[in-house]
Amino acid sequence: MNRRIGQLISYLVIIIGALIASFSVVCILIPNDAIDYGTAGIAIIISKLSGWNLSLCVAVIFLPFWIMGVRILGKQFGIRALIGAISYSLGLSLFEEIPFELNTEHFMAVIFGGAILGGGLSLILKFGGCIDGSEIMANIIISKLSKRTGKNYSMTVILLAFNAGVYLSAFLLINANEAMMSLLVYAVATTVIDNVTDHFEAIKQVTIITKNPDPIIEDIRIGLNKTCTVMDSYGVIAGENKTLICYINYFELQKMKEIISKNKGSFSTVSTVDEILR
């Protein structure tokens, strides 16, 4: 019962975050010559150049990334991402019909809009959702690389390269001012996200202390295609235990939480790893 209530709350927060993000994009950023980043940024560029409906462009571009995400990251991620994407698209349509004017200079409006966008996206990411296909794409590339090389990688370089392409497109296809304003949006929004989600793009170290490690190790191997470091440990009260250490990315964190909650009687911590040396 508590788990179901927790899921419903997470879905509600994702919806709220998506509506906040869509309000920022439609009511603040676009009127002040700025765009969102990621696949939403591509959708906005296409909508501006073609005159097509913005929310439809966002949904169509996000769809193939969502399908790939479900295959790699699982059903629960798919549900949360779909809820976020639908809420974001509906929010875009809703706020396009609501008159809103922010009477301030473009620079201040873009900073304010970027902060609101970052706040909305932080809520979505914090509760396991996603409305940006570039993050799914980066996660898939990282998963493939990790599987092939056995190493862990951060998504930062891939996301930076993707968004550099988005802003270069805005520079060439729209105008230089909009590209520069959009770059400011990216800087502000990602700063907010990093502070709320504890370095979203960094690698996460999960430490699990348990007396029964085998089911957890098997679930991690099957569900996340990851391995663990296993060490003997000893608790003053609990006595002999096993300590498991596993490195994952932010999108895999929700799946890890499900694995841990499924295997009762363990104690777990999550910490951010800035760099792994080999």
| Same-domain check for residues 16 and 129 | yes
pLDDT for residue 238 is more than 80: no
Q: How confident is the model over 208-222, as pLDDT tens digits? A: 999 999 999 999 988
| Same-domain check for residues 211 and 107 | no
| Confidence (pTM) | 0.83
Report the greatest alpha carbon distance in the chain.
Answer: 67
Residue 93 lies in a domain: yes
Q: How confident is the model over 1-42, as pLDDT tens digits? A: 577 887 889 999 999 999 999 999 999 999 988 888 999 999
What pLDDT does 169 receive? 92
Residue 278 lies in a domain: no
pLDDT for residue 278 is more than 70: no
**CATH number of the domain residue 260 falls in:** 3.30.70.120
What pLDDT does 104 receive? 74
What does the pLDDT average to over 218-228? 87
Nearest by Cα to 208 from 270, 150, 273: 270
Give the domain range for residue 107.
2-197
Residue 35 lies in a domain: yes
| Same-domain check for residues 160 and 88 | yes
- What average pLDDT is seen over the chain? 87
| Same-domain check for residues 116 and 39 | yes
Residue 162 lies in a domain: yes
210 phi, psi to nearest 5 deg:
-150, 160
Residue bearing tokens 């907010």: 192
| Same-domain check for residues 134 and 251 | no
pLDDT for residue 57 is more than 90: yes
| Same-domain check for residues 53 and 149 | yes
Of 163, 197, 231, the residue that ends a domain is: 197
Residue 142 lies in a domain: yes
| Same-domain check for residues 39 and 8 | yes
Q: How confident is the model over 153-183, as pLDDT tens digits? A: 778 888 889 999 999 999 999 888 888 999 9
What does the pLDDT average to over 101-129? 87
The single-letter DSSP state of residue 36 is -
> How many domains does the chain fold into?
2
| Same-domain check for residues 100 and 178 | yes
Residue 154 to residue 138: CA distance in whole angstroms = 9
| Same-domain check for residues 100 and 48 | yes
144 confidence band (pLDDT: 50, 70, 90):
confident
| Same-domain check for residues 58 and 175 | yes
205 confidence band (pLDDT: 50, 70, 90):
very high
Task: Work out the burial of residue 49: count CB atoms within 10 Å of its CB; fewer than 13 is exposed, 13-18 middle, 19 or more buried.
Answer: exposed
Of 197, 213, 247, the residue that ends a domain is: 197
